[in-house]
Amino acid sequence: MSSVRALRLLLAAGGLVVIGAGASVLVGKPLPSLVSIAIFLAGGVIAHDALIAPVTVAGGAAARRLLPPAYLAPLVVAVVLVGTLTVASIPVLFGVNESPTNQTLLDRPYLLSWLVVLAVTAVAVVVVGRLRSRRAAASHR
């Protein structure tokens, strides 16, 4: 058996374990909760297929035309990092569970922090892109 096939089987087995663990949590839940979970999961798939994927493909096509090649890899890393952080931060960015009776919830400037991360990431893309560009130019001499 090749190592690639063994790795695939190992990953598949791990995926089945995770699916089983998730399914075991659903056992005994009332039907309205199961319907709510199904709607939530379907919403994620619809949002991905209708919004996230097309925007990502269009952004990638635009980046390939507008940016030098040295900037593409750092940009991809930045988009993955910022995209993941943004999705995880949606509840605090939009004030979900904010409560005037409990001032300890959402008591930090999350939007400002997110904007700082965006700015630092943008600067990192430019710096790494320039370094890669100079390295590529030096290797062509």
Report the alpha-carbon distance of residue 127 to residue 118 in Å, rounded: 14
Whether 120 has a pLDDT exceeding 70, the answer reads yes
Taking each helix axis as running N to C, give the angle between helix 110-139 and helix 72-93, from 0 to 180 degrees, rounded to the nearest 10.
180
Report the alpha-carbon distance of residue 68 to residue 71 in Å, rounded: 6
Cβ count near 125 (within 10 Å): 21
pLDDT in the model for residue 87:
86
Token pair of 79 as six digits = 């988009």
Residue 95 binned pLDDT confidence (cut-offs 50, 70, 90): confident
Residue 97 binned pLDDT confidence (cut-offs 50, 70, 90): low
